[in-house]
Each structure stands twice: as structure tokens, then as C-alpha cells.
Amino acid sequence: MNVANLQLQGLYLAFAAINNVLVAKGLLSREEVDRALRLAERTALGDDRQVEEDIPPSGRDAVAFPARLLALANNSASGEEIPPFSELARLVGQTKRLDN
């Protein structure tokens, strides 16, 4: 596997852990984190650049992947535990819309 991919996996898990701490400290609710991540996903998918460059569905999925993974991590977290990256990635694949 490409080292950059491994670094991104670590980065996603780090962000998931930070989001979990923000919720645990009461600074944000899980719902607020989820709304922010869903907004990030919509913004990424609605980027005019993607329409202009005719990015294929797999490319749009790639752009939306971080927000989708972090939203699933947010909604799957319990206390101080976050599901492993492989489980979160699998869930992203299972929950993405069929029309994309």
C-alpha cells in the first residue's frame, strides 16, 4: 500500500479522535459534528470544479470519503473508543448512495 494512503488513514483517525474529545468535553454535540461533516460532504460534492472537469462518480466518492468516514466515526464512537479504519472504510462503502 502507498505510504501516503497509510498517512491519510492515520490523519482520519486523528480527526475522529479529536471530534470524539470535543464531544466528550461538551464543546460540541455529536449532532453538531455530524452536521458539520455532512456540510463538508455536500460542499465537496457540489464543487463546480467537479462538474466542469467531468469528474467520474468514483472521483466524487474519493472527494467525499473523508467527510463520510469521519461522520461514521462520529456516529459509531462510544466513550473513548473509535472503530478501526478498516471497519469505517467498509461502512462508507456500504452506506454510499447507489446513484453515485
For residue range 13-63, what is the model confidence (pLDDT) as tens digits?
999 999 999 999 999 999 999 999 999 999 988 866 655 567 888 888 898
In the predicted structure, residue 65 carries a pLDDT above the cut 90: yes
Residue 100 placed within a domain: no
Whether the CB-CB separation of 34 and 72 falls below 8 Å is answered with no
pTM of the model: 0.84
In the predicted structure, residue 69 carries a pLDDT above the cut 90: yes
Residue 73 placed within a domain: yes
> Domain residues for 59?
3-95
Whether the CB-CB separation of 79 and 21 falls below 8 Å is answered with no
The per-residue pLDDT for 55 is: 80
Residue 21 placed within a domain: yes
Residue 56 placed within a domain: yes
Domain count along the chain: 1
CA distance 35 to 71: 9
In the predicted structure, residue 97 carries a pLDDT above the cut 70: no
